[in-house]
Amino acid sequence: MGASAPFFMIAPPTDRFAELRAPAQWQAVDFMSDLHLQASDPTTFACWQLFLQRPPAERADALFILGDLFEVWVGDDVLTSSPVDAEPAFWGHCAALLHAHSQHTPVYFMAGNRDFLLGPDGLRACGMQALADPTVLDFQGQRWLLSHGDALCLDDTDYMRFRAQVRTPEWQSAFLAQPLVERQAMARGLRQQSEARKRSSAHDPSLWADVDTDAARQWLQHAGVQTLIHGHTHRPARHDLGDGLQRVVLTDWDASAEPPRAEVLRLTAAGLQRRPLKTA
Q: Where do the structural domains in the chain lie, given as residue ranges?
A: 26-276
Spatial distance between the Cα atoms of 42 and 50, rounded to a whole number of angstroms: 12
- Span 26-276 CATH architecture: 4-Layer Sandwich (3.60)
The predicted model gives 111-133 an average pLDDT of 97
CA–CA separation, 165 vs 241, rounded Å?
A: 30
Q: Considering only CA atoms, which of 125, 119, 101, 121 is closest in space to residue 48?
A: 101
Q: How confident is the model at residue 9 (pLDDT cuts 50, 70, 90)?
A: very low
Sorting pLDDT into bands at 50, 70 and 90, what band is 58?
A: very high
pTM of the predicted structure, to 2 decimals: 0.91
Decide if pLDDT at 265 tops 90: yes
pLDDT at residue 12 tops 50: no
Distances, alpha carbon 119 to alpha carbons 111, 137, 144, 168, 258, in Å: 10, 22, 25, 14, 35
pLDDT of residue 138 exceeding 90, the answer is yes
Residue 230 CB partners (closer than 8 Å, separation 6+): 33, 66, 146, 147, 148, 149, 152, 211, 247, 248, 249, 250
Asked if pLDDT for residue 108 goes beyond 50, the answer is yes
pLDDT at 11 over 80: no
pLDDT at 32 over 70: yes
Is pLDDT of 2 > 50? Answer: no
Q: Which of 243, 252, 14, 267 is nearest to 144 (CA)?
A: 267
Q: 51 or 198: whose pLDDT is higher?
A: 51
